[in-house]
Amino acid sequence: MADTTLAGGGAPAGTGAEPAVETRGRFGDFRRAFLGNKLAVFGLSVMVFFALVALFAPVLAPYDPIRDQDLAGKFAGPSAAHLLGQDELGRDILSRLIYGVRISLTAGLAAVSIATVVGAAVGLAAGYAGRWVDAVLMRLMDVILAFPSILLAIVIVTILGRGLTNALLAVGIVYIPQMARVVRSAVISVREREYVEAERALGAGHAQIVSSAILPNSMAPLIVQATLTLAVAVLDIAALSFLGLGATAPTPEWGAMLTSAFRSGFGVFVQGQHAILFPGLVIALSVVSVNFVGDGLRDAFDPRRKR
């Protein structure tokens, strides 16, 4: 009895305990730091909510996002039948936004996956091999970084042709260098550590060292960077669609919804203000949430960074 009281109220729990407890403790710290961050929890909740909406879109959407047109209801404001009003072709904005979650978030995730996989491979190769491999790869990354990002994405879309797939490819390519840099510096910082030396001494090959020692220890910065990149990717893909270079007309993609409302004439500014308001609000909400989560992850992974 006395022992428990001492452990609970005195010295910090976990000191001098066996390694298994310590690892759990570290994950506990991470979880506590992340869950203690209100903005991060808010962001995560919104992301989960969006994921569910994307999954159950056909059940949730009251109308068909493309076919249910009603020209008499052009820019009709919010009502009981159409909670968020109707767009320039009288389509239900809520239904289009619900289906749009699928498109925008999938496209964003796909772009980030491209940037992450390619960027991590480049960063790993550069950081692990060093010497001329490092020099060549990182100079190549410098060249990509030298372009203003949207300008580069625009040129890539011009080459590949307009469309959502090409837009997300372009955005993915543009963010490869950031990923490569993050992974490379993480790899360099663990490359010479004792546990890597130990593995090498035990006769592990390059593949094993990379997969068992280097990769796991580069994970934290990679996850943070990937999350923050998801936010800009969603934003950039919506921007490309808004410029008419990404998703095209009937597709209920959020950026494309804004542009088709905007290009339907000046009337949208007078009667159709809700057709401008809601799609942008959803884009902003999703991007803000992802940024909150990214910030929360960064702070939780790095205890020295106090808010």
Determine if 291 is a binding residue for another protein (CB under 8 A).
yes
Look at the chain and count its residues: 307
**Site for another protein contains 270 (CB under 8 A):** yes
Which phi and psi angles does 86 have, rounded to 5°? Answer: -120, 155
Q: Can residue 185 be called a binding residue for another protein (CB under 8 A)? A: no
- Interacting span for another protein (CB under 8 A) from 55-63, 82-90, 205-213, 255-263: 255-263
* Smallest distance, another protein to C-beta of residue 109, A: 17
Check binding of 172 to another protein (CB under 8 A).
no
Site for another protein in 229-248 (CB under 8 A): 231, 235, 238-239, 242-245
**Contact residue for another protein among 30, 34, 262, 301 (CB under 8 A):** 262
* 17 makes contact with another protein (CB under 8 A): no
SS3 92: strand
Separation of alpha carbons 52 and 54, rounded Å: 5
Residue 92 bridge partners (DSSP): 86
Between CA 300 and CA 298 the distance in angstroms is 5
| Residue 86, beta-bridge partner list | 92
Torsion angle of the four alpha carbons 112, 255, 281, 272, in this order, in degrees rounded to the nearest 10:
-170
Shortest distance (Å) from residue 52 CB to another protein: 21
Angstrom distance (rounded) from CA 77 to CA 56: 25
226 in Cβ contact with 179 (< 8 Å): yes
Which range of residues in 6-14, 65-73, 81-89, 151-159 is near another protein by CB under 8 A? 151-159
Q: Of 6, 193, 284, 302, which lies in the binding site for another protein, with binding defined by CB under 8 A?
A: 284
Backbone conformation region of residue 247, classed left if phi is above 0, alpha if psi is from -120 to 50, else beta: beta
Binding site for another protein (CB under 8 A): 39, 139-140, 142-144, 146-152, 154-156, 158-159, 161, 231, 235, 238-239, 242-245, 255, 258-259, 262, 269-270, 273, 276-277, 279-280, 283-284, 287-288, 290-292, 295
